[in-house]
Amino acid sequence: MAYRVAPPFSAAGQQRSLRDLRPGDQATICCLQDPEMALKLLEMGCVPGQQVRLRSRAPLGGPVTVVVGEDEYTLSLRLEEAATILLKP
């Protein structure tokens, strides 16, 4: 199965990423921006079409806690990793 890895910008400009969500916000993953990090994120369940919800943010630029999918798999991501997960508009 092939998954789409996005270019840095969409035709309409920069897309919203997982990093942009606030605690409690939900969204659907559109694609993964960084080809080098994509495999790691795919293995952790961050696949296009998957629902995600931002549970919490650590202070001072620390990691975010994300709930992935219907099974409510909890995952902590660095902000740099979260920024590579693009969301559907």
Task: Give the neighbor-by-neighbor strand order of the sheet with 51-57.
Answer: 73-77, 64-68, 51-57, 26-32, 85-87
Give dist(CA 16, CA 85) in Å, integer. 9
pTM exceeding the 0.95 threshold for the entire prediction: no
pLDDT at 8: 46
pLDDT digits (tens, 9 = 90+) for 1-45: 555 555 544 445 568 999 999 999 999 999 999 999 999 999 999
Q: Mind listing the domains of the chain with CATH numbers?
A: 18-87 (2.30.30.90)
Q: Which residue has the tokens 């790691």?
A: 40
CA distances from 57 to 21, 63, 64, 70, 75 (A): 10, 6, 4, 21, 12
pLDDT at 70: 84
Q: Which residue has the tokens 């409690």?
A: 24
